[in-house]
Structure formats: C-alpha cells, structure tokens
Amino acid sequence: MSELLTPRRREALRLDLEDQQKMLIEEVYRLSQGLIHGAVAPPVGFGEGLLESGSPKLSEGRLVAERREGLEGLDGKVRRLREISLALARIGRADFGHCECCGEVIPFRDLARDATRRSCRGGCGRA
C-alpha cells in the first residue's frame, strides 16, 4: 500500500475526524451535565441512616471519587476535542500529513490510526 496522502484519503480522514468530533462533543456534553447535576448538595437529612450504620464516609468518598473521575474524563476529552479541531483546520493545507519537526511525510497508515498526529516516528516527537 502506498503511503501517499491522496485527495481521497484526505477526505476519508476528514470524515473520520468529523465523526470523532461529533461523538466527543456529545460525550463532553453528557459528562458536564452529570457533573453539574452531581454537584447539587444532597437534601438535609440525607445520609442520616448511613451515620447510624457507622459508614458515612464510604458514600461520601465514592461521590468524590466519581466526581474526580468525571472531571479527569472531561479534561481528557476536551483536550482530544481540541486536537481534532486543530487537525480539521490543518487538513486542507498542503503541509498536512508532514512532520512539523523534520518535514518528512507521515506514513498514511499512521495518519489513518490517528489523523491528529503531527510528527513522524523518527527522532521527532512521540514514538
């Protein structure tokens, strides 16, 4: 298989990026909604039964952990969304698919795996 980025392949990468972008936007929306609604304080008296059973921290700790997990997930997805948006902005340009470090052509199989890739496998950037 040739490693050249033909117009057809470029278009396929663009469609794939747009799909990923759409899905991520939905996930980010869903996650942020969960965080917003999860952040509402429980009503007074909530958890009194837990106090009696002697394990009030258990549920509290789990909520904190879930919230932290949600925030980290959101952070990663927002970062990824940004990479995808930048790749979509670059994809029509002549230098798309070239290593930003050494200028070499990035093999198409690498772009097909991750179209947001900006460097080759050589001494440039991530392995």
Neighbour tally for 73: CB within 10 Å = 15
Distance of CA 80 to the CA centre of its chain: 3
CB of 125 to Zn ion, least distance (A): 7
Residue closer to Zn ion, measured from CB, 23 or 101: 101
For residue 126, give every residue at least 6 positions away whose Cβ sits within 8 Å of its Cβ, in sequence order, or none: 119
Site track for Zn ion across 40-79, x = CB under 5 A: ----------------------------------------
Residue from 5, 13, 31, 99 in contact with Zn ion (CB under 5 A): 99
Residue from 63, 71, 101, 105 in contact with Zn ion (CB under 5 A): 101
Residue closer to Zn ion, measured from CB, 25 or 101: 101
Q: Is 120 in the site for Zn ion (CB under 5 A)?
A: yes
Question: Which residue reads 């009030």 in tokens?
Answer: 56
7 secondary structure, DSSP code? H
CB of 104 to Zn ion, least distance (A): 5
